[in-house]
Structure 1
Amino acid sequence: MKRFCIAALMSIILLFLLSAPVFAAEYDSDQIILSWTDDSAHTQTITWHSASKKDGYVQYNREGMQLSPQHQVKAKIIEVKEDQYYRYEATIRGLSQKTTYEYRVGDGTSWSKVHTFSTAPTWETSRITTTDDAQSFEFLYLGDIQYKKRSQDYKTWGRMVEDIRQRNPGIAFALMGGDMVNSPRNMNDWNLFLSQATSVFAGIPMMTAIGNHETTVKADMYLKMLALPQNGPKGVSEEFYSFDYGNCHFAVVNTSFFLDNRKAAMEEEWEQQLTAISSWLEQDLTESGARWKVVVMHHPAYGISDGDPIYDAIREEWEPVFEQGEVDLVLCGHQHLYMRTKEIGNITYVMGNSGKRRSTYFNGENVPEYVEAINATDSNYQIIKVSEDKLTLESYDEEGQIIDKWSKNKSVSPLLKAVAAAGIIVVVGAGAVLIRLRVRKRGSL
């Protein structure tokens, strides 16, 4: 009887184990970051960290649809630090514009939790519309994150970014103006920065500029850790790049190229590379037909203090290019305060500071005549809203209280609005008028 009871109990236990649902172990990924390396309307790049060094994959589908190997992209593995730290990078292509997708990363067996992202509107649907609100969007700008107390300040920054996202759920992506870390090759800095960033930037893309604290001679670690467009000048393509989002064009430049150690390392090649960079920037800006143009860089052309030769170099080499290219707004950092200039050559220059370091350049009185607004007390961030005929920047402190507001208007003729409403794009230039019908992109998921 005893043997029968034991056998029956074992059978019940075995039956329970066989019938119980099997839960796959969660993939050991972290530091998931979205960015773009290609067209923002039809692609999405995802990077992440995993200690396993197994093959990595991204599975994706339209929101609410099943994730499966049918829609899966294999990632390339980037060894950032030998046998210590690896990042994975995968780009999804063939996506539909203005569409929300779900995705997860994994090794083919175990997977991360599911995240979402949304693609940008296409250039054609954003150029000239009769319904302004339908094509408007907003994005976030964050100046220097650089800390005073590393672990504590990164956590404070991470909470602030989460709060920004909650207060502004409509932000489409973020721009960062450099100095995300204090030491360019310190893995503790990178780990803390990306670990705090992932809660927001696994859901919206993060597009960055190089600061002087991301570089020694070159920004080697930065270029391995982050995935960015490679459409810039040959040899410095991810240091300098551009992308479009809707009716706005963004050019990102590396002002640390003017540092003395970069000049010394490159010797006579430095002048040749600078010429190529300036030519690329001029072509990139002047050939863009976007309604609004924004430049992102680290060092200011116009700051609270003018003692650095880099500022002079920017004004000499690139300010004329900005003006010729009809740039509307330049976003920068470096001096650890908030500052906005008056219009200079039809361009407004804005400096942000999202971290805890405070300016050593500002003594409370030395305000140049070109400064329109300044705040040297608070960590801050900027929300930029883009519509058909208006560009608006609102600057907030870390508590979400507004500290400054600026806007710029551009009128659109009623004739062009009417033509656009008929589904026709009109491009006027060089004395010619080109009229073409919109063609819907096919083959997108």
Structure 2
Amino acid sequence: MKSSFQTRWTFCAASLLLSAVVTGCQPSVESAPQITISNPSPTERRDEIVRVSVTELGEPGQPLRGAAVVLDNGRKIVPGQWLDEDLDSQPDTLLFSVSLEANGKASYRLREADKISLQTRTYAELGKRYDAQRQDGVYTGGSFKAVEAMTLPEQHEIGDGLFKYEGPGWESDKVAYRLYFDKRNVIDIFGKRQPELTLPQVGNVDAPSYHELQPWGMDILKTGPSIGLGSLAVYQDKRARRIDNSEQMTVSIRHSTPLYSEVEVSHQGFVGETGQADIDARYGIEAGSALTQVTVSAEGELPQWVTGIVKHESQLMQSGDHQAGPWRYIATYGDQSYINDGLGMVVFYRQTDVQTLTQDEHNHLVVMKPSLQTLEYYFGGYWQQGPDAIGSKAQFQDMLEHELIKLNQPLLVQVEH
């Protein structure tokens, strides 16, 4: 039996095509797990990634683990993707995209398919230069090739051209980010003009400068001496200090898959004012989202964490307490991109993690409580020329409120066997 599935989602003036072709599907069976997704909010949810663990799927789901699968309710077929979250060579989480009306609900049977084709909508990479010449401390020529992991060489110098766009990058079909793989450890934004993947063409040898507007987009954030957007830093002497003196810094590409990608940055032997600590930060992004999820874990003499947004001339926006739930945000919007057009930036944080909101010379800051061993927060950049076409502060605020609802009222998943 052959069938096809193609749906177009439209959200905030941006059109995004997600297509899957399913062939040779096995007939559904009553013993297959039934997955019901409910929207608890009075707001429509579009193209949102759902995660279901193998444990939740139970014994009936075990034969499907790692197989090509679809979710089928007789009217719609949704392709699924398995993710090996803990990298033990065994898939442990099922991902798929859903759209639900306000307070809506949808149920699907999970079943095997002989073949699925799922559009790749996220990507992560670390490009290292090979076959290059090094003169006066700068690499030229050669070509960049993707590597899965690398420890920063001791002889590395800022701007020496060893890494493609100076460090790892990760992206969805909404936006791309990069992190400076050196003692700056700061996050920058690549704005994109179309809902498609762009990083493979950015920063290659002899490619046009990403500081100039290209058909795909450009580097849109002026970071300067700040912590950029959402970078992990430590709070010291009433200011944000970059994680700048680790004995060893390592980048790993943990996931680069159609629906989810993740970069891990490890700092061994960071010395802060409280002593020495080992720090691990993971930056993950889902298809259809501009938000990066940051998860931090650390051991040793824990510093006081801080994150935030680079200060330009735009006024700070705060979420207030009008929404129930643990999540809040700080944000800015204005003509603050690299080419001085509209750019909105946001950091979402849990109230229970935060000691204070403040600022220093270069940043709007979210200062966390001291000695947190683990931490989670989100950040996002929204460009006027981007897929969501956020062209005003009012539009940006509407987007922020929608994202806040998604964090405070996540989709509910129920599995019946």
Say yes or no: TM over 0.5: no
- TM-score, scaled to structure 1: 0.25
Larger strand proportion of the pair = 2
The TM-score with structure 2 as length reference comes to: 0.26
Of structures 1 and 2, the larger Rg is shown by 1
Structure with higher helix content: 1
